Amino acid sequence: MPEGPGLAVVTGAARGIGAAVSLALAEQGWSLILADACSAQPGIGYPMASTADLDAVAERCGAEVLCADVAAPDFVAQLTDVLAGRTAGAAVAAAGVIAGELAWATDEDAWSTLIDVNLHGTRRLAEATVPGMLSAGQGRFVAIASAAALRAMPQLAAYSAAKAAVVGYVRALAADLAGTGVLANVVCPGSTRGAMLVASAEVYDLPGEEAFAGQQLLRRLLEPREVAAAVEWLCGAGASAVTGTVMPVDGGLTA
């Protein structure tokens, strides 16, 4: 890794874990490009973050903003334009959406969006940033998956499949990067406070997100900043021997 933090790209940066990662990296001295779609997603029933949300995080971080959808085929070109020849020292794929239904009865739009945002959004970020890291001989790629990729959860088959695919993709990415100095890892959060957990509560007809607290050994919800701390570590010098790893940060949910 460089002597000091360089440029990091974070997707899904307008709120939740992505925003927390952005703030954590900014505190460590990283300069940032923050990306988020800030628009409704087909088949997803809860509101997405707004451009005002993204701008507010960027203002706190002193970051550049890219209002673009990782699900769009031209995302790589859009991010490449913003990079303008610069190399990202770290890239964090935190963009994600959730939808819940029985495995055999999930809406086609929801299936497409879950795969396009969660999986293809991750690989598009890699396509835009990893070549530069390879040229530099160093870099960190981190994807946010989910505990749902590691254990069975009812009514989340499509979401679980998408997140499990993220795990498989990033582990294989790490293998492709063997010996290059570029490291790739996955963080799998448990029930983390935010819009996606509120949407999950609605899937199960629960009164709110706090109803998930008892599932975890901590007996409380995780805060986005706790997941961000793991990402921050993976992007730093202390994680120089860590690649191809799937790191649960789930309060004991998958223990």
Give the model confidence (pLDDT) of 143-197 as tens digits: 999 999 999 999 999 999 999 999 999 999 999 999 999 999 999 999 999 999 9
d(CA 122, CA 252): 25
pTM (two decimals): 0.97
Could you report the per-residue pLDDT of 204-243, keeping only the tens digit for each?
Answer: 999 999 999 999 999 999 999 999 999 999 999 999 999 9
3-state secondary structure 30-77: CEEEEEECCCCCCCCCCCCCCHHHHHHHHHHHCCEEEECCCCCCCHHH
Give the contacts of 184 (CB within 8 A, at least 6 positions apart).
Answer: 126, 140, 141, 142, 143, 170, 171, 173, 174, 177, 243, 244
CATH of 7-249, one of 3.40.50.2000, 3.40.50.720, 3.10.129.10, 3.90.79.10: 3.40.50.720
